[in-house]
Structure 1
Amino acid sequence: MSPQAMSNNFEKRFRHHLLLRCGVKENTRILVGLSGGADSAALLHLLKAAGHTTIAAHCNFNLRGNESDADEAFVRDLCRKEGIEVHVQSFETTAYATSHKLSIEMAARELRYRWFQQLMAQHDCDLLATGHHGNDAIETFFLNLSRGTGVRGLTGMDYRREQLIRPLLFASSDEIRNFCKERVLSWREDATNSETLFVRNKIRHQIQPLFEELNPSFFATMQHNLDHLRELAAFFDTEMEKLRNEWVAQEGDTHLIPLRLLREHPQKNSVLFELLRPYGFNSKAAQQIAEGLDSEPGRQFFSATHRLVIDRYNLLLVKDEENDQNRYILEGGSKQLTVPLSLKWASYPKTEAFILSKNPHEVQLDAELIDFPLYLRKARPGDRFIPLGMTGFKKISDFYVDQKLSLLQKEDTWLLTNGHDILWVVGHRIDERYKITPSTRAILHLTLL
């Protein structure tokens, strides 16, 4: 097949997925998230060629200095040449991340989609289109697989979710670049895409190529796998919604889940995770809660937004107002936190040259036992952990007494948590369960600056 024929075939496949997978009708007004990369440039061209009214939106997050400004200039010039209306917004992303206690990645996502929603309302756009492609979906699958996000996370990405569409999910990044070359479409390269410092980039440049060596048709195979998983997730969501309506009761501000029904369910772990997911509990926390179902009443667990109490007959879930104000999130892709502590972290493989740090402000933990995001918070009544070197649990309050901390020192001490587990009493002691052992293969290294 000639390059031109391949290009025409690509456009036909795009229109097929746009209609059948994204449900886009003729003459739709679409806001396009335009980064300036090959995927978004191709998306803009294809939507315009399909006869849709397109409006472009570009975010300058001011994270890459002159490169960010060059991306903005490129997008403006591209839209001027194509006769497409473009809107550009400059964000102080780092300042926003600090003030809202977010990682840079989460801050950029929040800023981006909030602004997109505003633009859609102002310009009567029916849909928001992004240039995510098939390789992005595969990367998301592996990323979620490593984090333990349940069935829904294994679907990678959806072609459509409410007003958001991703019509290029059928295509690989190479196919998109070849299409751009054949149609003589310009685009900008993001230098950070080739770096392997970020987890997603490691998957892209190290993990996917290994699977492609094992199976030359790996991309097509994964497309089929993801389609099957999307169907499975849709079925699972339907069944879980029925279960949620039958099981979860509400009394005032409290949600109740019957312990008896949970204990008797043959898939109680999966069911519990799905029931708790809307309240901010990750798979690690859900596993710990499942293991504590038969513990004495009164045991508490916390997510980023909610407090869960194991009562005599029910799990009780309430909005944790204090938690909203006094808990800070450490995302896996982020590397530094400046508020309320100056803390940086990195993960790397354990090698024979590894030397364990003895500095109390610099700790190393077994990374394979840790499930991001982590949380930084103050102590609460009933908190306990296994101090390094011990075999049994000790209450945090008793540990503070043993360390002879003054009242002010206690109030100023932070806890780093993994689900319900306390990983590190910051500046004092790590948990015995997360220490480096001879079987440790990967290390999470945290430094208090």
Structure 2
Amino acid sequence: MVHQQLQSLVLQTIRNHALFSIATDTLLVGVSGGVDSMVLLHILQALECKVHVAHCNFSLRGAESDADEHLVVSYAQSNNIPYSVTRFNTREYAQQTHMSIEMAARELRYDWFSELCVEHSCDYIAIAHNENDSVETFFIQLLRTTGIKGLRGIPITNGRIVRPLLNSTRSSIEAYAHANNITYRTDSSNLENEYVRNKIRNIVLPQLVSIHPQAHNNIVTSMHHVSQAYDVYADTIAQELARIVTYTGTGCMVNEHVLLAHKHKQALAFELFRSYGFTPNSIEQILQSFGTQSGKIFESPQYTAVHDRDTLFIFPKIIEQAFQIEVLLQSYTISTPYAKFRCSLHNSTEITLTKHPHWAYIDAAKLSNTLVLRTWKAGDSFVPFGMKGNKKVSDYLIDAKIPVHIKQHVLVLESNGTIVWLVGFTIHNLYAITNHTTRVFCIEMQQLNDEV
């Protein structure tokens, strides 16, 4: 009975949210060896999904980490499932990047998953987060003052990441494992209260349930309401910011007068500046600087904001004069010093266009299989969308009134030596999608601190 109920719920979740096609898509499944990921893998097998197992050994728990790896590899081999395993020196990476252990492990994991998707032609990344994880995340975000966006809990999809167990409780997953004799590993650190998540899981939530037996269900319902409200809120914020912000490739320019005059300036400022990594205290200081002497500088971990007369300029801290990276004509995510880029391939009938300078939609049939993303250089030219004649990138940026210190951060995407996208501005006119386009290459630029 437990066997059928959880499988049915997962199948319903996959269908209701159109997570992926069981018949045609290949899933890269993140498997730690814990009960959640082992059950997810078991259910995906039962549903006859095409899967490739990925296991990260973060080298954090010595023999325990090695035992986790051994279990996952043994299961994959005995079930004839293709698999990949890697080991990270997570503590060293955390020190080098000034991240917490948790954030370092997260970045290492998802960057590697993205690489594996390209290597093994996987369409989606299946992660075993469950409903309890989402409730815990709600409280973690509440402590971080992340705003409405963070109070939605864990999203069921995020780009190519899908979470088929997100509507399933931890107790139902454990019952399924017991009923099906699924071997799994228990991370002993989950029983310790060293990390914030563990304190919420082991101390806070049990107390809430003792106060109100329906606390878990009520919190889940509230998160769903918040998520629906956020969709409306986000649309409104985007519309209002369009009147205030001019996007400049990998940065932006903020019209201080228009923002200050807006009756919802606090909410708009929070959502805009928070997306560039500025803290609530820094955001308040930025607002207070408007209308004062030019030259004030504010910094987040990855961006600089400079107040100059009636404009605030925001741009990445890092400048690489000869930056260049290959971009494959596939679905995956690329991390660069300037921004993150989420790439995807679609049939033209499947996509809904997002009108925003951070998005580009290009006719895939006109592109080479390998593109180049690089900083622009003198002499670069292209045909801007809607125009017929060639125009130098330098002239385009002058016409767009882009300041010198912003120009240094402008990137271009080229195919066979032709610039097809002046990143964050416009695409090449001849590469735009038309009524004859069958396949579309979509590429979205995201701020460096956006979650992937």
TM-score scaled to structure 1, two decimals?
A: 0.67
Alignment match, 1:163:
160
Alignment match, 1:203:
200
Alignment match, 2:13:
17
Please give the residue correspondences for 1:390-405 in structure 2 after superposition, counting only pairs within 5 Å: none
Alpha-carbon distance, 1:254 to partner: 6.0
Please give the residue correspondences for 1:399-438 in structure 2 after superposition, counting only pairs within 5 Å: none
CA distance in 1, matches of 2:96, 2:143: 29
Alpha-carbon distance, 1:252 to partner: 7.8
CA distance in 1, matches of 2:64, 2:147: 37
Determine if contact 2:136/2:200 at 8 Å carries over to the other structure.
Answer: yes
Amino acid at match of 2:183: S
Alignment match, 2:127:
130
CA distance in 2, matches of 1:193, 1:238: 38
Which of 133, 138, 146 matches 1:141? 138
Please give the residue correspondences for 1:291-310 in structure 2 after superposition, counting only pairs within 5 Å: 291-310=288-307
Alpha-carbon distance, 1:30 to partner: 0.5
CA distance in 1, matches of 2:250, 2:113: 32
Determine if contact 2:22/2:50 at 8 Å carries over to the other structure.
Answer: no
Does residue 191 of structure 1 match 2:193?
no
Query: Which string of whole-angstrom CA distances, capped at 9 and with x for unpartnered residues, describes residues 57-77 of structure 1?
Result: 000111111111111111111
Which of 103, 115, 131 matches 1:106? 103
Query: Which string of whole-angstrom CA distances, capped at 9 and with x for unpartnered residues, describes residues 306-336 of structure 1?
Result: 22123331222232238xxxxxxxxxxxxxx
Please give the residue correspondences for 1:246-285 in structure 2 after superposition, counting only pairs within 5 Å: 246-250=243-247, 255-285=252-282
Query: Which string of whole-angstrom CA distances, capped at 9 and with x for unpartnered residues, describes residues 392-416 of structure 1?
Result: xxxxxxxxxxxxxxxxxxxxxxxxx
Alignment match, 1:7:
3
Alignment CA distance shift 1:224-1:251 (3 Å): closer
CA distance in 2, matches of 1:121, 1:193: 32
Alpha-carbon distance, 1:223 to partner: 1.7
Shifted more, 13-22 versus 281-290: the winner is 281-290
Amino acid at match of 1:45: H
Alpha-carbon distance, 1:110 to partner: 1.6
Alignment CA distance shift 1:252-1:94 (3 Å): closer
Alignment match, 1:382:
none
Amino acid at match of 1:174: S
Does residue 321 of structure 1 match 2:323?
no
Does residue 217 of structure 1 match 2:229?
no
Alignment match, 2:60:
63
Alpha-carbon distance, 1:255 to partner: 2.3
Alignment CA distance shift 1:219-1:252 (3 Å): closer
Alignment CA distance shift 1:295-1:144 (3 Å): farther
Alpha-carbon distance, 1:49 to partner: 1.0
CA distance in 2, matches of 1:108, 1:127: 20
CA distance in 1, matches of 2:6, 2:285: 48
Root-mean-square deviation over aligned CA pairs: 2.0
Alpha-carbon distance, 1:291 to partner: 3.9
Amino acid at match of 1:272: A
Alpha-carbon distance, 1:108 to partner: 1.3
Alignment CA distance shift 1:104-1:258 (3 Å): same
CA distance in 2, matches of 1:6, 1:49: 14
Query: Which string of whole-angstrom CA distances, capped at 9 and with x for unpartnered residues, describes residues 120-178 of structure 1?
Result: 11111110011101111111111111110111111111111110001111112111101
Query: Which string of whole-angstrom CA distances, capped at 9 and with x for unpartnered residues, describes residues 234-268 of structure 1?
Result: 22222222233332124687622112222222221
CA distance in 2, matches of 1:277, 1:58: 33
Amino acid at match of 1:137: S
In structure 2, the gaps of 5 or more residues are 320-452
Alignment match, 2:46:
49
After the TM superposition, list the runs of 4 or more consecutive aligned residues in structure 1 that deviate by more than 6 angstroms. none
Amino acid at match of 1:120: C
Shifted more, 284-293 versus 62-71: the winner is 284-293
Query: Which string of whole-angstrom CA distances, capped at 9 and with x for unpartnered residues, describes residues 64-109 of structure 1?
Result: 1111111111111122232222211111222222333333222211
Determine if contact 2:34/2:184 at 8 Å carries over to the other structure.
Answer: yes
Q: Percent identity?
A: 33
Does residue 245 of structure 1 match 2:242?
yes
Matched residue of 1:137: which SS?
A: helix
Does residue 232 of structure 1 match 2:229?
yes
Which of 82, 97, 102 matches 1:85? 82
Determine if contact 2:9/2:168 at 8 Å carries over to the other structure.
Answer: no
CA distance in 2, matches of 1:274, 1:179: 41
Matched residue of 2:298: which SS?
A: strand
Determine if contact 2:151/2:226 at 8 Å carries over to the other structure.
Answer: yes
Alignment CA distance shift 1:90-1:312 (3 Å): same
Amino acid at match of 2:134: A
Which of 298, 303, 312 matches 2:309? 312
Alpha-carbon distance, 1:213 to partner: 1.4
Determine if contact 1:149/1:283 at 8 Å carries over to the other structure.
Answer: no
Alignment CA distance shift 1:207-1:81 (3 Å): same
The count of aligned residue pairs is 319
In structure 1, the gaps of 5 or more residues are 323-449
